[in-house]
Chains A and B, each alone.
Chain A
Amino acid sequence: MKLRTNSTLSPDSGLRGDFPLLAANPGLHYLDSAATSQKPKVVLDALRDFYETANANPHRGAYALSVRATECYHQARVRIAQFLGVRDSDCLIFTRGTTEGLNLVAGSWGYANVSSGDEIVVTALDHHANFVPWQVLAMRKGAKFRVCELTPDGKIDLDFLGGLLNQRTKVVAFNHVSNAIGTINPVEEIVRLVREKTDAILVCDGAQSAPHFPVAFDSLGVDFYAFSGHKMLGPMGIGGLVGKREMLEEMPPYQTGGDMIEFVHDDRTTWNVLPHKFEAGTPNAANAVGLAAAVEYLNEIGMDRVIAHERSLMSVAQQRLGAIDGLHIYGPPPAERSGVVSFTMSDVHPHDLATILDGEGVCIRAGHHCAQPLMRRLDVPATARASFYVYNDESDIDALVAGIIKAREIFAYVET
C-alpha cells in the first residue's frame, strides 16, 4: 500500500501535502508538534473507514461485525507493538496517552509495592505527568520523593543520580526526551546505573521519543515505557503503556469494570488476562486503528529519516536563531536534542512573542511546558518553544525568524 502521496522528505520540502490541515492553510507554520502533531490523511481515512465498515463493540458481540471490530483492534495492537519493538504485543496496554500510562504504573505497581521509608526518584527534567503521580504516591505512602538535579546544559546529572540511589529506591522515573528543551537522555547508562545500585523499577516517559526516532522496548532495558498517539501523527485520546509481562501479570488492576474481568461473583472477582486486565470498559478501538495507520505511515518514511530530517532542521534553526541578538537557547547542543528549540529573548516575553508570531501564522508554544521544576532551575518563568516534525521545512524556520525579528521591532526600546 502506498501511503504517502507524492512528497519527498528534505529540509526544503517536508511532507506537508499529506496533511489536510496544513495543505488547506498554506500560510500556516506549525511548530508545536511537541504539544501535538498534525494528522496525515491516511490516519483520518483509517478512522472513517473503521466507523464506516467495522464499528461495533470489540470483545462483546457474537455477530460478525463485532468480530471484525475485535480483529481491527487486535491488529492495531500488533502493529503498534511491532513499531515499538515489543515482541509480546499483549504487553502493550492501550491508554488515553502517556499521562494515563504513567498513572497506571504509579497507581497499580506503586500502590502495591511502595511503602513507608522507600524512596522514589524522578528528575528535574520530567514533565508533570511523570513527576506528580510519583510525588502523590510518595506522600500517600510516606515514601521519600527525590528529584535528580541536572547539569548546567540541561541533561540528567548522572553523578547526582548515582548519589540518590540506594537499596530503598523502589522507582526511578525519567523521560526519554525532554518535552521542554529536547534533551535526549542516555537510557542505557541510566539503566546500568540503576540496576547496579538498586532493585528499583525503571519507568520511562516516551511521549517525545516514540514519535521521533526508532525505539525498541525489548532492548531498552526499562520496565515500563509510556507513549501518546497524538504526538506521533495519531488521533488524540489513544496511547499506550508497554511493560514487562511478569510485572504486568503481578500488578493489580488499575481500573475495574467491563472487559477486564474473568468471573464476577458476589464476594470476589477474578481478572482477565493481559492486556485486557488493564483495559476496563469499551476500548478506544477506532483511535487504536488510527494510530496503527500513523505508525505504518511513519514506517514507510522510516524513523531514521524522521530524526535525520528533524536534525537538519534543528541545525538550521539553531544557527539562525543563535544569530539573533539577545536570543538565548536552552538545553544541550543540537546533536544531543530531538527536534525542539526552547528559547527566550531578552526584551520580549515568550507570551508576547507567541502572540506576535501567531499574527504571522507561526504556531509555537510559550509557557512552562508542564515542567515547572525545570523552569525553576533554568530561572525563567517560561520559554518559547519551536518543535519540528516531518511536515516542517526551512520555510517554517524563515517565518519563525522573521516573526521574532518583528517582535523585537515592536518591543524595541526607544529612548525619548
Chain B
Amino acid sequence: MSAELSALYQELILDHYRRPRNKGTLENADASVEMKNPLCGDEIELQVAFDGDGVRDLKFSGRGCSISQASASMMTQLVKGKRREEIDAIRNQFRDLMLGVTSAANDGRLGSLRALSGVALFPARVKCALLAWNALESALADRP
C-alpha cells in the first residue's frame, strides 16, 4: 500500500468503521439532526442529549464510507461529557487538521481523531470526515 493510503486507512480508523462506538438511537434526545452528503450518499443521524452548556450523551446512525463512519464514531467518544467551549475548540482544530494544518495534529485534545490526519491528503474525502461534525454543529446551534 502506498504511504498515502496507509496514512488514510489506519488500523484505528478501520476499527471504528467495523465496530462503531455510540451507534444506535438515544432515548430522550434533546436534538436530532439528519445530514447527508449529496455527492456520495453518506448519511448520518445524530441524536444529542444536552446537559447545561454541554453534551451529556450522543449517538449516531446512518451509513457511509469508512471515513465518515469512523469520524462519527470517534467524535461521539470524544465530545461526550464535554462543555460547549471545549467542543467548539476541538471542532475548529479538527477542521484545521482536515485542511492540512499540520500543527493541529499535535493537539492532544483531538485524541483518536488525529488518526484521520491522512484524510487531508485526499481532498475529495474531507467532506466525509466533516459530516458528523457538521451535524453536531447544527444540533448545538438549534439548542433551545
- Beyond A355-B8, A356-B5, A359-B2, whether A411 also contacts B40 by CB under 8 A is no
Q: Which residues of A contact B42 (CB under 8 A)?
A: 351, 381
Instruction: List B117-142 residues whose CB lies under 8 Å from chain A.
Output: 122, 124-125, 128
- Beyond A359-B2, A411-B14, whether A366 also contacts B40 by CB under 8 A is yes
B43 located at the interface, meaning its Cβ lies under 8 Å from any Cβ of chain A in the complex: yes
Nearest A-chain residue to B8, judged by Cβ: A355
A351 adjacent to B128 (CB under 8 Å): yes
- Beyond A349-B66, A352-B65, A356-B5, whether A367 also contacts B125 by CB under 8 A is no
Q: Which residues of B contact A382 (CB under 8 A)?
A: 40-41
B18 adjacent to A359 (CB under 8 Å): no
Most buried by B among A349, A356, A382, A410: A349
- Bound-state CA distance A356–B4 (Å) is 10
A368 located at the interface, meaning its Cβ lies under 8 Å from any Cβ of chain B in the complex: yes
A410 adjacent to B65 (CB under 8 Å): no
Nearest B-chain residue to A406, judged by Cβ: B1
What is the CB-to-nearest-CB distance from A414 to chain B, in angstroms, rounded to a whole number? Answer: 9
Q: Which of B4, B9, B63, B124 has a CB less than 8 Å from the CB of A381?
A: B63
A63 located at the interface, meaning its Cβ lies under 8 Å from any Cβ of chain B in the complex: no
What is the CB-to-nearest-CB distance from B106 to chain A, in angstroms, rounded to a whole number? Answer: 26
- Bound-state CA distance A368–B9 (Å) is 23
- Bound-state CA distance A89–B86 (Å) is 67
What is the CB-to-nearest-CB distance from B115 to chain A, in angstroms, rounded to a whole number? Answer: 15
What is the CB-to-nearest-CB distance from A43 to chain B, in angstroms, rounded to a whole number? Answer: 27
B64 located at the interface, meaning its Cβ lies under 8 Å from any Cβ of chain A in the complex: yes
Q: Which residues of A contact B66 (CB under 8 A)?
A: 349, 352, 411
Q: Which of B1, B63, B128 has a CB less than 8 Å from the CB of A359?
A: B1
Task: Tally A residues with Cβ within 8 Å of B.
Answer: 18
B67 located at the interface, meaning its Cβ lies under 8 Å from any Cβ of chain A in the complex: yes
B122 adjacent to A410 (CB under 8 Å): no
- Bound-state CA distance A89–B88 (Å) is 62
A355 adjacent to B122 (CB under 8 Å): yes
- Bound-state CA distance A355–B5 (Å) is 8
A375 located at the interface, meaning its Cβ lies under 8 Å from any Cβ of chain B in the complex: yes
What is the CB-to-nearest-CB distance from A380 to chain B, in angstroms, rounded to a whole number? Answer: 8
Q: Which residues of B contact A367 (CB under 8 A)?
A: 39-41
A413 located at the interface, meaning its Cβ lies under 8 Å from any Cβ of chain B in the complex: yes
- Bound-state CA distance A237–B43 (Å) is 32
Q: Which residues of B contact A356 (CB under 8 A)?
A: 5, 9
Instruction: List B42-59 residues whose CB lies under 8 Å from chain A.
Output: 42-43
- Bound-state CA distance A406–B66 (Å) is 16
Q: Which residues of A contact B17 (CB under 8 A)?
A: 411
What is the CB-to-nearest-CB distance from B94 to chain A, in angstroms, rounded to a whole number? Answer: 20
- Bound-state CA distance A351–B18 (Å) is 16
Q: Which residues of B contact A375 (CB under 8 A)?
A: 41
- Beyond A349-B65, A352-B66, A355-B125, whether A413 also contacts B4 by CB under 8 A is no
- Beyond A359-B2, A382-B41, A411-B14, whether A351 also contacts B125 by CB under 8 A is yes
Q: Which residues of A contact B64 (CB under 8 A)?
A: 349, 351, 381
- Beyond A410-B9, A410-B14, A411-B66, whether A351 also contacts B1 by CB under 8 A is no
Nearest B-chain residue to A348, judged by Cβ: B66
B5 adjacent to A381 (CB under 8 Å): no
Nearest A-chain residue to B4, judged by Cβ: A359
- Bound-state CA distance A25–B122 (Å) is 21
Most buried by B among A380, A382, A413: A382
Instruction: List A364-387 residues whose CB lies under 8 Å from chain B.
Output: 366-368, 375, 380-382
Q: Which residues of A contact B124 (CB under 8 A)?
A: 355
B125 adjacent to A368 (CB under 8 Å): no
Q: Which residues of B contact A349 (CB under 8 A)?
A: 64-66
Q: Which residues of B contact A351 (CB under 8 A)?
A: 40, 42, 64-65, 67, 125, 128
Q: Which residues of B contact A366 (CB under 8 A)?
A: 40
Nearest B-chain residue to A383, judged by Cβ: B41
Nearest A-chain residue to B62, judged by Cβ: A381
Q: Which of A355, A368, A406, A413 has a CB less than 8 Å from the CB of B18?
A: A413
- Bound-state CA distance A342–B39 (Å) is 17
What is the CB-to-nearest-CB distance from A64 to chain B, in angstroms, rounded to a whole number? Answer: 49
Instruction: List A228-283 residues whose CB lies under 8 Å from chain B.
Output: none
- Bound-state CA distance A356–B2 (Å) is 10
Give 20 pairs: A residue, B residue, CB < 8 Å, sorted on A: A349-B64, A350-B65, A351-B42, A351-B67, A351-B128, A352-B9, A355-B5, A356-B5, A359-B1, A359-B2, A367-B40, A367-B41, A368-B40, A380-B41, A381-B40, A381-B42, A382-B40, A382-B41, A410-B1, A410-B5
Shortest Cβ-Cβ A-B pairs, 3 listed: A381-B41, A351-B65, A349-B65
Footprint of B on A, CB under 8 Å? 349-352, 355-356, 359, 366-368, 375, 380-382, 406, 410-411, 413
Query: A349-B65, A356-B5, A381-B43 are known contacts; what are 4 more A-B pairs with Cβ within 8 Å?
Result: A349-B66, A359-B2, A367-B40, A375-B41
